[in-house]
Amino acid sequence: MLKLTKKADYGLMALKYLAEHPETPALSAKDLADAYGIPAQLLAKILQRLTKTGLLRSHAGMNGGYALARDARQISAYEVILAIDGPFFITSCTRGAKSCELTPSCTIKEPLARVNDTIAGVLKSISIHDLADREHSDAAPGRERQGLVTLTV
Amino acid sequence: MLKLTKKADYGLMALKYLAEHPETPALSAKDLADAYGIPAQLLAKILQRLTKTGLLRSHAGMNGGYALARDARQISAYEVILAIDGPFFITSCTRGAKSCELTPSCTIKEPLARVNDTIAGVLKSISIHDLADREHSDAAPGRERQGLVTLTV
DNA sequence: CTAAATAGGACCGTTCAAGTCGCATATTCG
DNA sequence: CGAATATGCGACTTGAACGGTCCTATTTAG
Ligand code: SF4
Ligand code: SF4
């Protein structure tokens, strides 16, 4: 429950790697997969998905591969998850989805929807750049980035 | 992904219902199940779990049932989820869990662990009382409860 | 004693994540 | 041109977890 898909996980890793190597024009799915030991074919499909949603730009053929479509600072973890796993819903009901027989009688869906939004907000406030840059945010005090999230239950 | 278990969902509903009816000494699993249309047997096991972790107090026999072990204000959504679904981890690796071959080479597990803690913090800041009382927090301005969550990536 | 309740184990069907395979298409290079 | 790389994409398999049911034992009020 409340667990991130490994696909999304892999996607974040790949994007982070790309963000860390801005000089290279493009990296192939295999390169990225080898860098971490991710199944190449699987990563390929993930990257294709990210390409289709506009987070990456691809180039086929020799010396082809993928590159970030935007600055790493402007790609949020939320977008990545959304692209890979589809709409972000914490419950089985929340607006847009089907499937929960007791949606009418349920009295906690509104509060949970708010929790959903809060978590989405957290994810939106995290960019690929945040993951890539500075390994130890704790080790370098005075420069921590602080995102304030307001929770209204 | 990132989806709440229906069991946790049901658990929250049940606790909320109990919080809304503090006068009654105890409500049976069947009562609670009927109130929302939840499969009774399933709810029963959930309530048993909540009892074993100390969130509820149970009483067998006729006129038996369940009651909150503490004030609704002192039971967080986090505890409920923890009790029902086990340890809260957003990734497949994060400390305590097994299963992720590439934990050593992975470079995003620390940042994700921090995200994990942030979300856990959000959940911890929500009590059963918050779910139960006041249906429309938006409809009653000036009294919104605001929980500040600091996000440090 | 009996009916209503909790307690808990065994079991099962469906769904979904994770990964694999195969093939088509694009592009570069010799 | 044609071979070598690459992306693009759909079908498929496997395994685990979720949601749910059933059955039995035990407690307890009336
Ligand atoms: S309607 Fe209620 S029970 Fe059904 S998924 Fe939404 S929150 Fe959970
Ligand atoms: S180690 Fe990295 S890839 Fe494996 S689960 Fe943790 S974060 Fe995801």
pLDDT confidence of residue B18: 97
Q: What is the pLDDT of residues B91-149, one digit of tens each?
A: 988 655 566 888 888 999 999 999 999 999 999 999 999 999 764 443 333 334 444 55
Q: Are strands A146-152 and B146-152 parallel, antiparallel or unpaired?
A: antiparallel
* Residue B34 CA, distance from chain mean position: 20
Supply the pLDDT for residue B100. 84
Angle between helix B40-52 and B77-85 (nearest 10): 110
SS3 track for chain A: CCCCCHHHHHHHHHHHHHHHCCCCCCECHHHHHHHHCCCHHHHHHHHHHHHHCCCEEEECCCCCEEEECCCHHHCEHHHHHHHHHCCCCCCCCCCCCCCCCCCCCCCCHHHHHHHHHHHHHHHHCCEHHHHHCCCCCCCCCCCCCEEEEEEEC
d(C-alpha A59, C-alpha A62), whole Å: 9
Whether B50 has a pLDDT exceeding 50, the answer reads: yes
What size, in residues, is chain A? 153
Q: Going along chain B, which residue ranges are E strands?
A: 56-59, 65-68, 146-152
Contact yes or no for A15/A48 (Cβ under 8 A): no
Interface test with A, best of B1, B32, B81, B102 (most A CBs within 10 A): B1
Q: What CATH topology corresponds to B6-131?
A: Arc Repressor Mutant, subunit A (1.10.10)
B92 touches strand C (CB under 7 A): yes
Q: In chain B, where are the structural domains located? A: 6-131
Residue A98 has a pLDDT of 62
Which residues of B fall within a CB distance of 8 Å from A105?
Answer: 36-37
Q: What is the mean pLDDT of residues B9-16?
A: 98
Q: Distance (Å, rounded) from C-alpha A47 to C-alpha A29? A: 7
Q: Which residues of B touch A13 (CB under 8 A)?
A: 106-108
Predicted confidence at residue B1, as pLDDT, reads 84
Are A108 and B149 in contact (CB < 8 Å)? no
Tell me, what's the pLDDT at B103?
85
Task: State the pLDDT at residue B101.
Answer: 83
Nearest to A18 by CA among A51, A49, A56, A48: A56
**What pLDDT was estimated at residue A103?**
87
The residue whose CB lies within 8 Å of the most ligand 1 atoms, and thus the one to mutate among A106, A110, A117, is A106
pLDDT for position A100: 85
Confidence class for position B89, pLDDT limits 50, 70, 90: very high
Spatial CB neighbours of A99, under 8 Å, sequence gap ≥ 6:
A92, A93
Identify the pLDDT of residue A142: 33
- State if residue B41 touches ligand 2 by the CB under 6 angstroms criterion: no
Nearest one of B116, B123, B111 to B147, comparing CA atoms: B123
Residues in B 38-77 whose C-beta is less than 7 A from nucleic strand C are 41, 44-45, 47-48, 51-52, 58-66
For all residues of chain B together, what is the average pLDDT?
87
pLDDT per residue of chain A (153 residues) written in tens, 0 to 9:
899 999 999 999 999 999 999 999 999 999 999 999 999 999 999 999 999 999 999 999 999 999 999 999 999 999 999 999 999 999 988 655 566 888 888 999 999 999 999 999 999 999 999 999 765 443 333 333 444 555 555
Q: Say yes or no: CB of residue B91 within 6 Å of ligand 2.
A: yes
pTM: 0.90
Instruction: Tell me whether residues A119 and B148 touch, CB distance under 8 A.
Output: no
Does B64 have pLDDT greater than 50? yes
Per DSSP, the three-state class of B123 is helix
